[in-house]
Amino acid sequence: MDAGIEQFAPWLALWDLIPEGEPLLMPHTGSRLLPVRRGDTAAMLKLAASEDERRGGQIMAWWDGEGAAPVLARRDEALLMLRAAGRTLTDVVLGGDDRAATATACEVLAALHRPRPDPPQTRPLAHLFSALLESGEARLDGARSTARHLLEGQAELRLLHGDMHHGNVLDFGPRGWLAIDPWGVAGERAYDYANLFRNPRVEDICPERFGARLAQISALANLEPARLQSWAYAHAGLSAAWDIQDGALMEAERSFALISLLEGRA
């Protein structure tokens, strides 16, 4: 067996899977993916590299194919899910249909946020914001203050995806567009829409595009525009804090450009 596939061997045998491609490494998490087939079903086998990633698999199973990729099997660090047809919402935006991509993202989030019994235990949203709340960067003072205010007065609490961006919504053919790779945090549902404003490429976000997305998302998701904009501002600050923490200074400057745009709209 190929050395790259060796670590998948126990799961290939357990679930009677046939590899259909090369293993893939997820750069930010260290988790590994392998395209496989089980009978007539094209699937993706994922080996989680952290407890957060394992929790994401548990949340995917809890969503039970409603708004998220269907989970075919799960045990320990291994997750077997249906494989997408190929496109992501990033492709839709870069193809020139921003409104269609935004509408689809809102539909997916509405499905994920639908109340269900017995949600898995997960971390509070405030934990996700620790990089911003603990940052000493002066240019983040406004975003930090806004984040504290929002986190202290959260409403409409849900189990959130936590990393909802255009690359995490995939085309599953007849099943439609579905989400993958949740981080899973508990908090105000408006936060899950905030990351849509700086993606798929933050450098493409101009005042006109931000305003159009804000109006569209507010209407489709029934969210108050000013509060949604505040969450987008807080999230832009969080992204900049993460970039600084990782030493990705060029990426941080892109986030600061969005912060400046939002401060200009305040």
Reported as a single tens digit per residue, the pLDDT across 95-118 is 999 999 999 999 999 999 999 999
What confidence category does residue 28 fall into, taking pLDDT thresholds of 50, 70 and 90? confident
pLDDT at residue 224 in the model: 98
**Which tokens belong to 212?**
């159009």
Q: What is the pLDDT of residue 27?
A: 83
Give the pTM: 0.94
Q: Span 119-137, mean pLDDT? A: 96
pLDDT of residue 29: 86
Element (H, E) at 179: strand 177-179
pLDDT at 85 over 80: yes
Q: Between 249-265 and 225-246, two packed helices, what is the crossing angle to 10 degrees?
A: 160
Q: What is the DSSP letter of 174?
A: G
Report the share of the chain in percent with pLDDT over 90.
Answer: 87
Give the residue numbers marked as catalytic.
163
The amino acid occupying position 82 is: L
d(CA 104, CA 67): 11
The mean pLDDT of 2-20, rounded to a whole number, is 90
DSSP annotation of 68 reads B
Q: Rounded distance, CA 33 to CA 24, Å?
A: 5
- Residue 83 CB contacts under 8 Å (≥ 6 apart), including other chains: 35, 42, 43, 44
Average pLDDT over residues 50-71: 95
The pLDDT score that the predictor gives to residue 201 is 87
The model's pLDDT over 156-196, given as tens digits with 9 standing for 90+, comes to: 999 999 999 999 999 999 999 999 999 999 999 999 999 99
Burial class (CB within 10 angstroms; exposed 0-12, middle 13-18, buried 19+) of 82? buried
**Interacting residues of 231 by C-beta distance below 8 A, sequence separation 6+:** 150, 188, 190, 191, 193, 194
Confidence label for 203 from pLDDT (cuts 50, 70 and 90): confident
**Who has greater pLDDT, 227 or 51?**
227
Dihedral (Cα; 250, 100, 35, 62), 10-degree rounding: 100
Residues 132, 136, 138, 139, Cα dihedral to 10° = -30
User: pLDDT at position 2, please?
Assistant: 57
- 3-state DSSP assignment of residue 140: helix
Does 24 or 28 have the greater pLDDT score? 24
